Amino acid sequence: MSTVQISAADVNKLRQQTGAGMMDCKKALTETNGDFEAAIDFLRKKGAKVAASRQDRESNEGVVISRTSADGKTGVIIELNCETDFVAKNAEFVAFANEVANKAVENQPKSIEELYAISIDTENTTTTIGEAIIDKTGKIGEKIGVSKLEIITGEKVIAYVHGNFRLGVLVALNSNPEGADEAGKDVAMQIAAMNPIAVDKDGVDASVIERELEIAKDVIRAEGKPEEMVEKISLGKLNKFYKDSTLLNQEFVKDSSKSVAQFLSTVEKGLTVTAFKRVALGA
Structural domain boundaries enclosing 247: 201-274
Domain boundary among 90, 125, 153: 153
Region at 49 (left for phi over 0; alpha for psi -120 to 50; beta for the rest): beta
Are the C-beta atoms of 123 and 138 separated by less than 8 Å?
no
Q: Strand, coil or helix: what is 263?
A: helix
Q: Assess if residue 105 is contained within a domain.
A: yes
- Confidence band, pLDDT 50/70/90 cuts, at residue 14: confident
Residues 41 and 66 in one domain: no
Query: Residue 1 pLDDT > 50, yes or no?
Result: no
Residues 117 and 146 in one domain: yes
Residues 39 and 66 in one domain: no
Residues 39 and 71 in one domain: no
Q: Assess if residue 54 is contained within a domain.
A: no
Q: How many domains does the chain have?
A: 3
Distances (CA, A) of 38 to 15, 63, 103, 245: 14, 33, 35, 48
pLDDT tens figures, 121-171: 876 778 899 888 887 877 777 888 999 999 999 999 999 999 889 999 999
Q: To the nearest 10°, the Cα dihedral for 134, 136, 141, 146?
A: -70
Query: Residue 38 pLDDT > 50, yes or no?
Result: yes
pTM: 0.77
Q: Assess if residue 173 is contained within a domain.
A: no
Residues 108 and 149 in one domain: yes
CATH number for the domain harbouring residue 39:
1.10.8.10
Q: Assess if residue 14 is contained within a domain.
A: yes
Q: Which residue has the higher pLDDT, 185 or 9?
A: 185
Residues 74 and 24 in one domain: no
Q: Assess if residue 176 is contained within a domain.
A: no
Q: Assess if residue 254 is contained within a domain.
A: yes
Q: Which residue has the higher pLDDT, 157 or 46?
A: 157
| Rounded Cα–Cα distance for residues 124 and 103 (Å) | 17
Query: Residue 2 pLDDT > 60, yes or no?
Result: no
Q: Assess if residue 237 is contained within a domain.
A: yes
Residues 75 and 101 in one domain: yes
| Rounded Cα–Cα distance for residues 78 and 86 (Å) | 19
Q: Assess if residue 282 is contained within a domain.
A: no
